[in-house]
Chain A
Amino acid sequence: MKQIFGRPAGLTDVLQRYCPGCGHGIVHRIIGELLVKLGIRERAVGIAPVGCSVFADEYFNCDMIQPPHGRGPAVSTGIKRSRPDCIVFSYQGDGDLAAIGTAEIIHAASRNENITVIFINNAIFGMTGGQMAPTTLPGMKSTTSVQGRNIKKQGYPIKVCELLAGLDGPYYLVRTSVHDPKNIIKTEKALKNAFGNQIAKNGFSLVEILSMCPTNWGMTPVQSKRWIGDTMMKYFPLGEYRNRAKEEK
Chain B
Amino acid sequence: MLQQGSLENGLRKEELMPQVKILEEVCKGCGLCCDDVCPVDILILAPDRINGSGYHPAEVTDNDKCTGCGYCFKICPEPAIEIFK
Contacts and interface: CB of A to CB of B under 8 A. Distances in A.
Contacts of B7: none
A4 B85 contact: yes
Nearest to B19: A1
Given A220-B31, A225-B35, A5 B77 contact: no
B31 A2 contact: no
Given A5-B79, A19-B28, 13 more contacts: A1-B15, A3-B83, A4-B85, A5-B74, A6-B73, A6-B83, A7-B79, A16-B78, A22-B77, A25-B78, A26-B77, A181-B71, A221-B31
B64 interface: no
Contacts of B74: 5, 26, 181, 184-185
Main secondary structure of the interface of B (DSSP, over half): loop
Contacts of A107: none
Interface in B63-79: 68, 70-71, 73-79
B26 A15 contact: yes
Interface string A80-113: 0000000000000000000000000000000000
Interface residues of A, number: 29
Nearest to A225: B32
Contacts of A26: 74-77
Contacts of B77: 16, 18, 20-26, 29
B30 A20 contact: yes
A245 interface: no
Interface of B: 15, 18-19, 26, 28-32, 34-37, 55, 68, 70-71, 73-79, 81-85
Contacts of B68: 4
Contacts of B32: 21, 221-222, 225
Contact of A20 (B29, B37, B70, B81): B29
Nearest to B85: A4
B3 to A, nearest CB: 20
A168 interface: no
Given A181-B71, A220-B31, A225-B32, A2 B84 contact: yes
A220 B37 CA distance: 16
- Shortest 10 CB-CB contacts between residues of A and residues of B: A25-B77, A21-B30, A20-B30, A20-B28, A5-B73, A221-B30, A5-B83, A181-B71, A6-B82, A1-B84
Given A21-B77, A222-B35, A3 B82 contact: yes
Contacts of A24: 77
Nearest to A16: B78
10 contacts: A1-B84, A2-B84, A6-B83, A15-B78, A16-B77, A21-B30, A22-B77, A23-B77, A185-B74, A221-B30
Contacts of B19: 1
A89 to B, nearest CB: 19
A180 interface: yes
Contact of A21 (B31, B37, B71, B84): B31
B53 to A, nearest CB: 9
B81 A5 contact: yes
Contact of B70 (A4, A7, A16, A21): A4
